[in-house]
DNA sequence: TGGTAGCCTG
DNA sequence: CAGGCTACCA
């Protein structure tokens, strides 16, 4: 503590408002600290905070007294000051912008350490007391407001008694705060003096010698290192304990200083103030303001360079801010890289999981890498038959399926639809998840959704965003990372944080509990939940054995969830998945099961789900061909040959203004929020012509006449856009 | 034998 | 859209 670096290093660790190792139960709060406004302000004090926000001491030193930097806690104190002390005018007056130099009484390093430590301990104690009373104060005030109305009607003696009690409590609180203010003011003055002294000495060296630069750098490095270390090692509780939420912003200090004549070190402070700027409570105010200004804009930097203290101070402040930002980023990255935190050994099938690969870089690259990794682990699959392209086949899904009705982690709703809940051991009854009154794509808790994503159908690209964590203003990618990260949190840690529905993109309600989910996708935590519990309960392992099936080792662990009776699994297919499948049909009429698995990463595939999806596409094709044949026949009857630009007869055309197009669009893109790809129109037109030609030529008399057309069409599948690899329905 | 396509039916 | 059925393939 005999050096600013020590002081700051330690201070930084004490005051950091960020939690590098967040309690999972509060993990969701993190994004709240990240706002795009204000140039990426990351300080939590700018956000509505819980009753005990983390107020770094330094942070308050930064505050020029302006409202933007005020925190909730400060506002509370402001209110208290205004109401109880009526000092607003004086404070404003004191903010006259006087700049004060560093000076005043200086303590030795050791003395300062001891003194400061004592102050900190005392402040902590006072703070705790203040918080208790402070919270009570808030409640009492609110209650007071309410009772003001009631009093006019009742005016009971009991009310008066309570009033008196409140008054006493207020007075006690006031005293507590007064004392706290005094101690804090002293403490901050000491902090400043420590910096000022040290920095001034360094400045002297700097101006007189040439080694100062090296020293300065070394000092900075050391500070940074210690700061970072302190940050990463700090404990949440420590932060909370040592944060000083009720340190008043500068305007208040002015008045406080004036009032705080009864403080123990009154004489000392008065002397300091007199020495500095001729008295008044603006000493610290000025210092703080200068620091803030110095930090806030570099215009006046030259003015302060004479004061090593400010410089050091500013450096430390910058470091704190920088480290705070870095910590947030690091935290995000750490969370992101926490994928697969669960040992693979527990889940013997490395190939399990859905493919989420795709094009592009960034997240996509990561996802693709993940996919590739899984593909490698999968170790080949079985080929499929004479299926159309993409029927590269794969290991069959889970052969046996069990369902459980016990789904404590997910909201289940009564289901009146037939077959929505499968009886145990009935893997064949796959039906769509029941519709729900909310937007079709997902159903997280409304409060968890940013306003922009609450109406998924109206957004251009919905994917995961609508079912992501409640991270307002957080970039989509970051939300992905958070979601992905949180998806791997231990289920017990996640418990109580949110309903697993939050994760469920397009699968808000559990279906009949077929297994589902792929832990590989960012927004598909359910599996993580299941995996975690699976780990916890080895006794359930026998289900895997009985399940047998999993060819190619895939899906082995994936289906564990269904045995756990958690019910949180995103099993089965939802209306969202159906919608997505229909849109996929624009690109692929004959998707293979592997392809489907790739494009439904939020679905835990098993035999039932796979069959259901395949059946869907079969139905899509059926509808498609029926329409083709129908219109082809109609055209044949009507002799509907279109006239081309050259006025020559041309085969049937399928324009976007035709009835056939409308029907197709209505069927596969009912909400009409997805632009039908030209390619699909072309293919449909081709199919129409083929049908038309076959009919015209009488080939339709052959029972197998359609197969020829099918063969043609099945070769025209296009790659499905990467946007389909995300959960939810791609739009646009 | 399992998976899938296609057809038919509801 | 799903169920049932058949046919086909590997």
SS3 A439: coil
Q: Is the pLDDT of residue A567 over 90?
A: no
Q: How far is the CA of A385 from the C1' of B3 (A)?
A: 8
Pair A518, A524: CB distance under 8 Å: yes
Q: Is the pLDDT of residue A236 over 70?
A: no
Taken in order A164, A169, A171, A172, the sign of the CA dihedral is positive
A386 C-beta less than 7 Å away from strand C: yes
pTM (two decimals): 0.35
Q: Is the pLDDT of residue A418 over 90?
A: no
Those residues whose C-beta lies under 8 Å from the C-beta of residue A160, and which sit 6 or more positions away, are none
Tens of pLDDT, residues A71-119: 232 323 233 333 333 333 333 233 232 222 333 333 333 433 334 444 4
Give the separation between CA A164 and CA A692, rounded to whole angstroms: 93
Pair A416, A431: CB distance under 8 Å: no
| List of A residues 495-554 with CB within 7 A of strand B | 551
Q: How far is the CA of A396 from the C1' of B2 (A)?
A: 8
Query: Which residue is closest to B8 in terms of CA–C1' distance?
Result: A622
Q: How far is the CA of A704 from the C1' of C6 (A)?
A: 15
SS3 A46: helix
A578 C-beta less than 7 Å away from strand C: yes
Beta bridge partners of A650: A642
Give the separation between CA A537 and CA A541, rounded to whole angstroms: 8
| pLDDT at residue number A395 | 31
User: Of the segments A99-113, A264-278, A448-462, A692-706, which one has the largest average pLDDT value?
Assistant: A692-706
What number of residues does chain A have? 732
Q: Is the pLDDT of residue A203 over 50?
A: no
| Secondary structure tally for chain A: helices H, strands E | 26, 2
Backbone angles phi, psi at A266, to 5 degrees: -60, -45
Q: First-to-last CA distance in chain A?
A: 60
SS3 A649: strand
A609 versus A466: the higher-pLDDT residue is: A609
Q: Over pLDDT 70: what percentage of chain A?
A: 20
| pLDDT at residue number A596 | 92
| pLDDT at residue number A166 | 64
| pLDDT at residue number A190 | 57
User: Of the segments A171-180, A193-202, A492-501, which one has the largest average pLDDT value?
Assistant: A171-180
How far are the Cα atoms of A14, A677, A683 from residue A628, in angstroms, in the given order?
Answer: 72, 18, 11
Q: How far is the CA of A383 from the C1' of B3 (A)?
A: 10
Tokens of A671: 């909400």
A593 C-beta less than 7 Å away from strand B: yes
The neighbour count for residue A418, using CB atoms within 10 Å, is 8
| List of A residues 196-235 with CB within 7 A of strand B | none
Query: Which residue is closest to B3 in terms of CA–C1' distance?
Result: A384
A621 C-beta less than 7 Å away from strand C: no
The mean predicted confidence, pLDDT, of chain A is 47
Tens of pLDDT, residues A316-345: 445 544 444 445 444 544 443 343 332 222
Q: What angle do CA A458, A473, A324 make, to 5 degrees?
A: 160
| pLDDT at residue number A577 | 92
Give the pLDDT mean for A296-309. Answer: 35
Q: Is the pLDDT of residue A709 over 90?
A: yes
A479 C-beta less than 7 Å away from strand B: no
Q: How far is the CA of A507 from the C1' of B3 (A)?
A: 26
Query: Which residue is closest to C2 in terms of CA–C1' distance?
Result: A431
Those residues whose C-beta lies under 8 Å from the C-beta of residue A569, and which sit 6 or more positions away, are A407, A410, A510, A513, A515, A516, A517, A526, A527, A529, A530, A561, A562, A604
A329 C-beta less than 7 Å away from strand C: no
Q: How far is the CA of A703 from the C1' of C6 (A)?
A: 15
A634 C-beta less than 7 Å away from strand C: no
Q: What pLDDT band is residue A31 in, cutting at 50, 70 and 90?
A: very low
Q: What pLDDT band is residue A403 in, cutting at 50, 70 and 90?
A: very low
| pLDDT at residue number A648 | 57
Q: Is the pLDDT of residue A525 over 80?
A: no
Tokens 């020559």: give the residue: A648
Q: How far is the CA of A619 from the C1' of B9 (A)?
A: 13
Tens of pLDDT, residues A487-506: 333 322 222 222 222 223 33
A668 C-beta less than 7 Å away from strand C: no
Nearest nucleic acid nucleotide to A385, CA to C1' distance: C9
Q: How far is the CA of A578 from the C1' of B9 (A)?
A: 22
Q: What is the largest CA-CA distance in chain A?
A: 111
Give the pLDDT mean for A155-179. Answer: 59
Give the separation between CA A163 and CA A694, rounded to whole angstroms: 93
Query: Which residue is closest to B2 in terms of CA–C1' distance?
Result: A396
Q: How far is the CA of A711 from the C1' of B4 (A)?
A: 15
SS3 A101: coil
Q: How far is the CA of A578 from the C1' of C9 (A)?
A: 28
Q: Is the pLDDT of residue A728 over 60?
A: yes
How far are the Cα atoms of A86, A431, A603, A620, A668 from residue A578, in angstroms, in the given order?
Answer: 64, 11, 12, 11, 9
| pLDDT at residue number A496 | 26
Give the separation between CA A17 and CA A374, rounded to whole angstroms: 39
Pair A730, A674: CB distance under 8 Å: yes
Nearest nucleic acid nucleotide to A432, CA to C1' distance: C1
A329 versus A448: the higher-pLDDT residue is: A329
What is residue A357's DSSP assignment?
Answer: -
Give the separation between CA A456 and CA A354, rounded to whole angstroms: 23
Pair A453, A505: CB distance under 8 Å: no
H-only helix segments in A209-281: 212-233, 236-242, 250-259, 266-277
Q: How far is the CA of A321 from the C1' of B1 (A)?
A: 66
| pLDDT at residue number A691 | 92
Q: Is the pLDDT of residue A714 over 70?
A: yes
Tokens of A334: 């750490």
Give the separation between CA A190 and CA A196, rounded to whole angstroms: 9
Q: How far is the CA of A594 from the C1' of B2 (A)?
A: 16
Those residues whose C-beta lies under 8 Å from the C-beta of residue A251, and which sit 6 or more positions away, are A65, A91, A92, A94, A95, A285
Tens of pLDDT, residues A258-287: 333 333 344 344 333 434 333 333 333 433
| pLDDT at residue number A176 | 66
Q: Is the pLDDT of residue A706 over 50?
A: yes
Give the separation between CA A179 and CA A221, rounded to whole angstroms: 37
CB half-sphere exposure, A271, CA atoms < 13 A: 7
Query: What are the DSSP calls for A666-682, one per residue?
Result: HHH-TT--SPPPHHHHH
Give the separation between CA A679 and CA A665, rounded to whole angstroms: 13
Pair A4, A43: CB distance under 8 Å: no
Q: What pLDDT band is residue A630 in, cutting at 50, 70 and 90?
A: very high
Q: Is the pLDDT of residue A623 over 60?
A: yes
Beta bridge partners of A505: A442
A671 C-beta less than 7 Å away from strand C: no
| pLDDT at residue number A702 | 86
Pair A46, A38: CB distance under 8 Å: yes
Nearest nucleic acid nucleotide to A616, CA to C1' distance: C1
A4 C-beta less than 7 Å away from strand B: no
A668 versus A51: the higher-pLDDT residue is: A668
Q: How far is the CA of A687 from the C1' of B7 (A)?
A: 19
| List of A residues 82-141 with CB within 7 A of strand C | none
Q: What pLDDT band is residue A251 in, cutting at 50, 70 and 90?
A: very low
Strand B bases within 7 angstroms of protein beta carbons: 2-8
A625 C-beta less than 7 Å away from strand B: yes
Tokens of A85: 């002390």
| pLDDT at residue number A639 | 75
Backbone angles phi, psi at A201, to 5 degrees: -65, -40
Give the separation between CA A589 and CA A432, rounded to whole angstroms: 20
A430 C-beta less than 7 Å away from strand C: yes
Pair A592, A387: CB distance under 8 Å: yes
Give the separation between CA A13 and CA A228, rounded to whole angstroms: 8
| pLDDT at residue number A638 | 82
A616 C-beta less than 7 Å away from strand C: yes
A385 C-beta less than 7 Å away from strand C: yes
Q: Over pLDDT 90: what percentage of chain A?
A: 14
Closest CA to A206 of A91, A342, A355, A312: A312
Beta bridge partners of A432: A573
R_g over Cα of chain A: 34
Nearest nucleic acid nucleotide to A393, CA to C1' distance: B3
A611 C-beta less than 7 Å away from strand B: yes
A570 versus A297: the higher-pLDDT residue is: A570
CB half-sphere exposure, A549, CA atoms < 13 A: 18
A643 versus A57: the higher-pLDDT residue is: A643
| pLDDT at residue number A631 | 93
How far are the Cα atoms of A174, A223, A265 from residue A107, in angstroms, in the given order?
Answer: 30, 21, 13
Tens of pLDDT, residues A128-151: 444 333 333 333 333 333 334 444
Q: Is the pLDDT of residue A458 over 60?
A: no
Query: What's the 3-state SS for A134-155?
Result: HHHHHHHHHHHHHHHHHHCCCC
Tokens 């070769």: give the residue: A715
SS3 A643: strand
Pair A453, A465: CB distance under 8 Å: yes
Strand C bases within 7 angstroms of protein beta carbons: 1-4, 8-10
Give the pLDDT mean for A229-246. Answer: 31
A617 C-beta less than 7 Å away from strand B: yes
Pair A430, A616: CB distance under 8 Å: no
């Amino acid at each position: 503590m005999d050096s600013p670096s020590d002081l700051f290093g330690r201070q930084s660790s004490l005051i950091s408002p960020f939690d590098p190792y967040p309690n999972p139960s509060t993990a969701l709060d993190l994004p709240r600290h990240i706002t795009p406004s204000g140039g990426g302000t990351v300080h939590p004090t700018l956000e509505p905070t819980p009753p005990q926000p983390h107020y770094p001491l330094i942070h308050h030193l930064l505050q020029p007294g302006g409202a933007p930097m005020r925190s909730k806690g400060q506002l509370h104190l402001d209110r208290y000051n205004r109401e109880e002390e009526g000092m607003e005018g004086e404070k404003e007056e004191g903010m006259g912008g006087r700049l004060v130099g560093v000076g005043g009484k200086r303590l030795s390093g050791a003395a300062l350490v001891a003194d400061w430590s004592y102050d900190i301990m005392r402040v902590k104690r006072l703070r705790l007391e203040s918080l208790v009373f402070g919270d009570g104060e808030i409640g009492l005030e609110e209650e007071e407001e309410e009772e003001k109305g009631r009093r006019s009607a009742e005016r009971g003696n009991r009310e008066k008694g309570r009033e008196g009690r409140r008054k006493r409590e207020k007075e006690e609180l006031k005293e507590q705060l007064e004392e706290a203010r005094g101690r804090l003011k002293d403490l901050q003055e000491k902090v400043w003096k420590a910096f000022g002294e040290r920095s001034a000495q360094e400045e002297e060296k700097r101006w007189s010698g040439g080694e100062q630069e090296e020293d300065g750098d070394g000092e900075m490095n050391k500070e940074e290192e210690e700061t970072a270390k302190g940050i990463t090692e700090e404990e949440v509780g420590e932060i909370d304990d040592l944060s000083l939420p009720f340190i008043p912003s500068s305007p208040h200090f002015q008045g406080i200083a004036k009032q705080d004549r009864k403080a123990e070190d009154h004489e000392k402070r008065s002397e300091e103030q007199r020495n500095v700027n001729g008295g008044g409570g603006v000493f610290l105010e000025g210092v703080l303001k200068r620091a803030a200004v110095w930090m806030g804009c570099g215009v006046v930097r030259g003015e302060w360079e004479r004061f090593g203290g400010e410089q050091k101070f500013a450096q430390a402040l910058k470091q704190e801010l920088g480290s705070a930002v870095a910590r947030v980023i690091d935290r995000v990255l750490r969370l992101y890289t926490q994928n697969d935190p669960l040992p693979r050994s527990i889940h013997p099938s490395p190939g399990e999981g859905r493919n989420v690969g795709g094009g592009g870089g960034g997240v996509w690259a990561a996802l693709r890498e993940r996919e590739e990794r899984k593909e490698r682990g999968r170790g080949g699959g079985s080929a499929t038959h004479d299926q159309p392209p993409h029927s590269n086949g794969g290991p069959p899904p889970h052969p046996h399926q069990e369902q459980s009705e016990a789904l404590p982690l997910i909201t289940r709703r009564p289901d009146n639809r037939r077959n929505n809940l499968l009886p145990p051991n009935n893997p064949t009854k796959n039906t769509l998840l029941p519709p729900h009154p909310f937007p079709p794509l997902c159903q997280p808790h409304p409060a968890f959704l940013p306003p922009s994503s609450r109406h998924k159908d109206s957004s251009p690209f919905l994917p995961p965003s609508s079912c992501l964590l409640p991270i307002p203003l957080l970039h989509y990618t970051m939300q992905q990372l958070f979601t992905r990260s949180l998806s791997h949190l231990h289920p017990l840690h996640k418990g109580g944080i949110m309903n697993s529905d939050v994760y469920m993109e397009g699968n808000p309600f559990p279906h009949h509990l077929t297994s589902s989910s792929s832990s590989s996708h960012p927004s598909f935590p359910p599996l993580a939940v299941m995996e975690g519990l699976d780990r916890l309960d080895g006794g359930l392992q026998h289900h895997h054995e009985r399940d047998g099936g999993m060819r190619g080792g895939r899906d082995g662990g994936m289906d564990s969830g269904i045995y756990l009776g958690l019910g949180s699994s995103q099993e089965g297919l939802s209306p969202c998945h159906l919608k997505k499948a229909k849109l996929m049909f624009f690109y692929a009429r004959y998707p293979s099961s592997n392809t489907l698995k790739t494009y439904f990463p939020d679905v835990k595939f098993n035999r039932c789900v796979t069959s259901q999806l395949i059946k869907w596409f079969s139905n899509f094709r059926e509808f498609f061909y029926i329409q083709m044949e129908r219109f082809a026949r109609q055209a044949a009857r009507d002799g509907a040959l279109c006239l081309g630009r050259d006025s020559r007869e041309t085969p049937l055309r399928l324009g976007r203004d035709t009835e056939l197009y409308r029907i197709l669009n209505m069927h596969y893109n009912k909400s009409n929020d997805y632009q039908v790809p030209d390619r699909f129109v072309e293919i449909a037109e081709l199919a129409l012509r083929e049908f038309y030609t076959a009919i015209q030529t009488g080939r339709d008399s052959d029972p197998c006449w359609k197969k020829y057309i099918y063969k043609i069409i099945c070769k025209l599948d296009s790659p499905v856009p990467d946007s389909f690899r995300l959960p939810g329905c791609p739009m646009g």
